[in-house]
Structure 1
C-alpha cells in the first residue's frame, strides 16, 4: 500500500467519530507545539519524546487496519489522553515531579486499560472459536492477569533503566523510619529499627558529602509497590465490569465503550488472533 493511501486509511478510521478525531487533532497540535518549543530550547531529549508520542498516536488506527479490529471511540480518546498525559505532561513538562499523585493516576488508568485490552482479546478468541469456550470467571481472570503482567513488566523496565542508567524512573521517597536486618549489630537476623530520622548524610570515596533532609532516602521500593497496587485497583475495576456484563448478559455502556470489537464481517476470523 502506498504511504498516501495508508495515511488516508488512518484518517478515515479516526473520522468515524468526529469528537474523537477533533480531540486527536487538538492533542496532536499541542504535541507539535511542544516539539517546536523543545527544538528551539535545544532540549532534544524531550523533542524525541514528542516524536515518539506522535507515532504512538497512530498505533490504534494501525492496529485496527492490520488486525481487522475496531477500537471504540471512547477507548481511543482515553488512549490519546493517556499518551499525552504520560509522555508530554508527565515527562516533558515534569508533572510526575510537580503534581503529587500524577504517576499514581496514570498507573491506575494503565491497569484499567490493560484489563480492557486483555478482556477484549480473550473474548474475541473465545467468541470466534468452536473449540474454545471459557467461563465468564476464567475469562475475567485471564484479563486481570494480563493487566498485572503488563504492570510487572513495566516495573522491570523501570528498574533496568535505573540500575544501568540511573534515570530514577522508580521515584525515590524520603522516609522517617526504616527496619533492616543488615543494620543489626548482633547479626541475629532480626530487623534493626531506626525511627525519627531527621536527615541522612552520604559520604563518597572522593570526599564528597551529601545530605538528604527530612529522613532516609528509599530507593524506589515504595514507588514500585504503590504502582503495582494501583495497577491492581484498575485491573479489578474493569474485571468487575467485564464479569458482570458476561455473567448476567446485560448491556453495559462502560464495557461497550471500552471493549475492542471485530470489524463488520470479521467475527468468524477472530480465532486468528
Structure 2
C-alpha cells in the first residue's frame, strides 16, 4: 500500500514522482549546506524553489484541474533548470547559452499549454466558442509570448530584490535590454513552432502528442467534460 502511494502504476506519474524525489533531495541537501554555512538568503531561495516545484503535487486535491503528467514533468524540469541551476548554481554565468535554451524551451512549453487550452475550450459544449485552426495557432503564439514577457518581469524583480543574475548584461548594454529582447525573440520562436505544428494538426486531423495529452486531460478531469462531446482520438 505504502509503496504504491510513493510510486504509482502509471508510467508518466511514476516518472513525475521519481523526478520530484530526486530534485527535492538534491535541493534539500543544498539548502542544509547553506544553512550550515549561515547563508540564509540563498537557503531561503532554494527552499522557495523546492516549494514551487512541489506546489502542483501538494495542491492536486484542492485544484479542480489536473494537467497531464508529461506536461508536469517538463514544467518541473524547466523550473529546476531556470531557478536552481540557472540562478543558484550560476549556469547563466558559466554557460552563456543556458538562458537562450531555456527561453526557447519555455516558448515551446507555453505554446503547447496555450494550444491545449484553446483546443479544449473549442471542443467544450458548455462554452459557446467555435474558432478556426488559424485562430488557435494565433492564440497559442500570443499566449506563449505574453507569458514570456511576464517571465522577463519576474527575472527583473528577482535580480533587483534577490541579487540573482537572470537578466545578463552585455558589454555594450549593461542595462540588459539586449538580453531581454533576445529572450523575447526566442520565446516567440518557440511559440511560433508549436502554433504552426498545432495548426497543421487541426487542419489535417492527424494524431500528435497534443491530441494524446488532450485525451489524457479529459480522462483525468471527468467533471469538466460530463456534458462535453466525446473526444475522439484519431488513428
Q: TM class, shorter-chain normalised?
A: 0.7 to 0.9
| Kept after mapping to 1: 8 A contact 2:7/2:14 | no
Distance 2:94 2:87 in 1: 11
Distance 2:30 2:214 in 1: 29
**Unaligned runs of at least 5 residues, structure 2:** 229-235
Alpha-carbon distance change, 69 to 269 in structure 1, aligned in 2, over 3 angstroms: farther
Q: Tell me what 1:229 maps to.
A: 185
1:52, CA displacement in angstroms? 1.5
Q: Tell me what 2:20 maps to.
A: 24
| Kept after mapping to 2: 8 A contact 1:110/1:234 | yes
Aligned CA RMSD, in angstroms, stands at: 2.9
How many pairs does the alignment contain? 220
* Match of residue 139, structure 1, among 133, 136, 140: 136
- The answer to whether structure 1 residue 34 and structure 2 residue 18 are counterparts is no
Q: Which has the higher helix share?
A: 2
Q: Which has the higher strand share?
A: 1
Q: TM-score, normalised by structure 2?
A: 0.80
Q: Tell me what 2:73 maps to.
A: 77
1:269, CA displacement in angstroms? 6.6
Distance 2:180 2:30 in 1: 29
1:167-182 equivalences under 5 Å are 169-175=166-172
| Kept after mapping to 2: 8 A contact 1:111/1:151 | yes
1:72, CA displacement in angstroms? 2.2
Larger Rg over CA atoms:
1
**Unaligned runs of at least 5 residues, structure 1:** 1-7, 176-216
- The answer to whether structure 1 residue 89 and structure 2 residue 85 are counterparts is yes
Distance 2:156 2:38 in 1: 28
| Kept after mapping to 2: 8 A contact 1:71/1:261 | yes
Q: TM-score, normalised by structure 1?
A: 0.70
